[in-house]
Amino acid sequence: MISLLSIYVLAVVPEPTPIWLRTLAGSIGVVLGGVFGFFRGKVTPIRTGELPDTIYVGPSLAASLLWVVAFALRYWVRMSEHQLPILMALTDGLILFPPAAYVVMYWMIHRKYERLKGAPATNENTL
């Protein structure tokens, strides 16, 4: 919800930064977030639950820190004295990095779950 609100504010509030620079920074943030999410999804441990079609996903401090660091850096840049267009564009990339990482991470976890669901039954299925 916070990301959606931030993206809405970015679209509505007038910004002196050129749109091409904001688009480039946002695209870089999405690509880097996607790469991070891909590898995060690959290493996330999951196992099947007791109920049908349920899984347990291992906890991740890194995923929580991702949001905190991205928003803290964005806040720091926005509140700094250096209001350069490149820094303002960087904040757009920082806003789009976490949602992209989460979308790709959960997609990878879903793919891992589908493989796990099709595996032969053992005492404890884990990937």
Number of domains in the chain: 1
Please state, in angstroms and rounded to a whole number, the distance separating the CA atoms of residues 116 and 108: 12
Residue 33 is assigned to a structural domain of this protein:
yes
pTM of the predicted protein model:
0.71
> What is the extent of the structural domain holding 65?
17-117
Residue 122 is assigned to a structural domain of this protein:
no
DSSP-assigned letter for residue 53: T
The pLDDT value recorded for residue 61 is: 81
Residue 12 is assigned to a structural domain of this protein:
no
Residues 89-113 have pLDDT tens digits of 888 888 888 889 989 998 999 898 8
Length of the chain counted residue by residue = 127
Residues 60-76 have pLDDT tens digits of 787 778 778 888 888 88
Task: Determine which helix (DSSP H) or strand (DSSP E) holds 48, and give its type and residue range.
Answer: strand 46-48
Residues 20-46 have pLDDT tens digits of 888 888 899 999 999 999 988 888 888
